[in-house]
Copies of this chain bind each other. A is one copy, B any other.
Amino acid sequence: MPASPNPLRRNEASRRAILDAALQLSAEHGYGRLTIEAVAARAGVSKKTIYRWWSSKGAVVLDAIDDMAAVADYPDTGSLAADLHTQLTAVIDLLTSPENSAVTGLIAEALQDRELAHDLRERLIRPRITTFKSRLRKAQLEGQLAPDADLDVALDLIYGPVYHRLVFHLGMPDPQQLETLIDHALRAFDPPQSTR
């Protein structure tokens, strides 16, 4: 998220050192205790250099995460439920492991910073929503999901629970509970049986 200076003259070594330092320090002491000061020191870089290219510590961490975590293809073993289970497990691990406090830290910060929120959504989340929907569309073609299922609703029902639990610290579902959740979420797209 560069601001104004000439990106062509940017020092790639400094950029890498900054992003690496940000992730390391976040893992070591937690996102909350991360400071620009410490990142600069660890990276052997002037604070000015950080402020030249990023507008806040959140922006640095977002870049660092984005840089690290290339968008992976959605798992596809043929079984939609199994693939959702696999992928949700990965997400839960990411949100839960202490060394990835950067991710929840970023989520927390974005809740209070519109600009950061925008970048978080567009750069990290949107692409992953896209691959998720592609996987669902394939499932529709294969008859594992109703052809008229609203994929946005599916997104809400399948991923919503994880973030609801995250936000209120209700504990993440164990594999068994996760299977139950997925099962219910998918059943929501079965044709209605009766009026309610």
Contacts and interface: CB of A to CB of B under 8 A. Distances in A.
Nearest to A156: B161
Interface stretch (A6-14, A70-78, A111-119): A111-119
Copies of this chain, whole number: 4
A48 interface: no
A27 to B, nearest CB: 14
Nearest to A180: B153
Interface residues of A, number: 53
A126 to B, nearest CB: 9
Interface string A155-196: 111011111111111100000010011001111111111101
Interface of A: 30-32, 81, 101, 104-105, 107-113, 117-118, 120-121, 125, 144, 150, 152-153, 155-157, 159-170, 177, 180-181, 184-194, 196
